[in-house]
């Protein structure tokens, strides 16, 4: 299949092109599109056949449910029921934006879209192209991240092409995704809201709106036998091709240990990479060193993480040693993704 790439300009959205993309979706095809978090691989959420195509294009296990994207609050009731007062408050504060909420689903949503669950994940993106595209598509777009399953999520149209060219009908190019990490997921289908996946809408921000909020135990004790409530969180994810290992401890000790490990690896004739913060990248004398951004700008690290992991894929590097990052606020989301990419391999120094 030929994949058509369409460049769109935020300053003057081309309605004709958006209608063309919407028509592809209405006819059951797949269109990748930019959102403020990462690129999404969209299909008609109310069409079971489209959901099947999404799983196939990504090579994603079909028990891993998709997030349904909407463009208007009033469309929510068609796909979700039992909307709690907490959910209303969260939507009031954070929609449109990088927050996904889990509700009880209505009959309208096919089981293929929700991986057989009786709940549905819903998000209303803030991105103008995403919003216009969803409206042109009939209002309900099922979209996981637009990457091949197991690879880092895509934050540019070029990344999407790398992974999905020839497997989908169309890619809408809106430049670089501003946030760079997937949405925060909060389950509001039961008594108390629970965070299932951390994101740039932090626990502190959510608690300021609805009071104390629980965190899925599987996130607190990763690597344990506790089954995550977001089925997708159980898969090794966001992984670069090279083996990734995180080194954690005080910054001097971390630099010393990474230098030693890189030296050891390269003495065996293999190439090593270092994933470092802007402040400490100068401490590494060997290996391919890449900065992911300043520790003082967590947003910047979030934006660049997947891009840097993909850049390593273009190189000869077979082992990457990464510094660790603070685990509070947005750092919680950054470390969640980094730990998953590393398959939870951490060296403490």
Q: Which residues of 219-248 are buried (b: 16+ CB within 10 A; e: fewer)?
A: beeeeeeeebbbbbbeeebbbbebebbbbb
Binding site for Mg ion (CB under 5 A): 145
Least gap, CB of 349 to Mg ion (angstroms) = 31
Binding track, positions 210-229, relative to ligand AMP; x by CB under 6 A: -------------------x
Is residue 127 within the footprint of ligand AMP (CB under 6 A)?
no
Binding site partner of 168, from Mg ion, ligand AMP, none, Cβ cut-off 5-8 A by kind = none
Question: CB-wise, 37 or 145, nearer to Mg ion?
Answer: 145
Say if residues 171 and 133 touch (Cβ distance below 8 Å).
no
- Count of residues binding ligand AMP (CB under 6 A)? 19
Is residue 65 within the footprint of ligand AMP (CB under 6 A)?
yes
Q: Return d(Cα 166, Cα 156) in angstroms, integer.
A: 17
Is residue 196 within the footprint of ligand AMP (CB under 6 A)?
yes
Is residue 152 within the footprint of ligand AMP (CB under 6 A)?
no
Question: CB-wise, 131 or 145, nearer to Mg ion?
Answer: 145
Is residue 114 within the footprint of ligand AMP (CB under 6 A)?
yes
Question: CB-wise, 291 or 303, nearer to ligand AMP?
Answer: 303
Packed helices 330-341 and 298-313: angle between N→C axes, nearest 10 degrees: 20
Among 51, 102, 277, 317, which residue sits at the site for ligand AMP (rule: CB under 6 A)?
102
Is residue 145 within the footprint of ligand AMP (CB under 6 A)?
yes
Among 25, 57, 67, 332, which residue sits at the site for ligand AMP (rule: CB under 6 A)?
67
Judged by CB under 6 A, which stretch of 115-123, 171-179, 240-248, 255-263 contacts ligand AMP? 115-123
Binding site partner of 288, from ligand AMP, Mg ion, none, Cβ cut-off 5-8 A by kind = none
Binding site partner of 21, from ligand AMP, Mg ion, none, Cβ cut-off 5-8 A by kind = none
Is residue 22 within the footprint of ligand AMP (CB under 6 A)?
no
Least gap, CB of 67 to ligand AMP (angstroms) = 5
Is residue 144 within the footprint of ligand AMP (CB under 6 A)?
yes
Among 5, 14, 52, 64, which residue sits at the site for ligand AMP (rule: CB under 6 A)?
64
Binding site for ligand AMP (CB under 6 A): 64-65, 67, 102, 114, 117, 119-121, 144-145, 182, 185, 196, 229-233
């Amino acid at each position: 299949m030929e994949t058509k790439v369409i460049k769109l300009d935020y300053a003057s959205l081309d309605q004709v092109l958006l209608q063309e993309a919407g028509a592809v979706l209405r006819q059951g095809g797949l269109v990748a599109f930019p959102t403020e978090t990462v690129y999404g691989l969209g299909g008609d959420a109310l069409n079971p056949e489209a959901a099947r195509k999404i799983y196939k294009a990504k090579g994603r296990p079909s028990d891993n449910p998709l997030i349904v994207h909407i463009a208007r609050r009033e469309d929510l009731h068609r796909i979700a029921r039992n909307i709690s007062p907490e959910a209303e408050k969260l939507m009031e504060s954070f929609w449109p934006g990088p927050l996904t909420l889990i509700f009880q689903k209505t009959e309208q949503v096919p089981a293929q879209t929700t991986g057989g669950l009786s709940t549905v994940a819903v998000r209303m993106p803030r991105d103008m192209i995403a919003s216009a595209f969803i409206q042109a598509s009939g209002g309900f777009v099922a979209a996981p991240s637009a990457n091949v399953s197991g690879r880092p999520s895509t934050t540019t149209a070029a990344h999407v092409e790398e992974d999905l060219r020839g497997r989908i009908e169309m890619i809408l190019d809106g430049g670089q995704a501003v946030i760079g990490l997937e949405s925060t997921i909060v389950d509001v289908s039961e008594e108390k809201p629970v965070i299932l996946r951390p994101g740039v809408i932090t626990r502190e921000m959510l608690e300021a709106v609805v009071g104390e909020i629980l965190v899925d135990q599987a996130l607190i004790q990763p690597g344990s036998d506790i089954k995550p409530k977001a089925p997708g969180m159980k898969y090794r994810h966001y992984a670069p091709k090279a083996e990734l290992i995180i080194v954690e401890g005080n910054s001097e000790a971390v630099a010393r240990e990474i230098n030693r490990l890189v030296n050891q690896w390269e003495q065996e004739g293999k190439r090593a990479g270092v994933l470092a913060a802007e402040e400490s990248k100068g401490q590494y004398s060997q290996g391919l060193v890449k900065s992911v951004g300043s520790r003082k700008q967590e947003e910047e690290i979030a934006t660049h993480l997947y891009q840097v992991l993909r850049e390593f894929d273009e190189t000869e590097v077979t082992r990457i040693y990464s510094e660790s990052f603070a685990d509070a606020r947005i750092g919680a989301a950054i470390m969640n993704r980094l730990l998953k990419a590393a398959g939870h391999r951490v060296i403490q120094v």
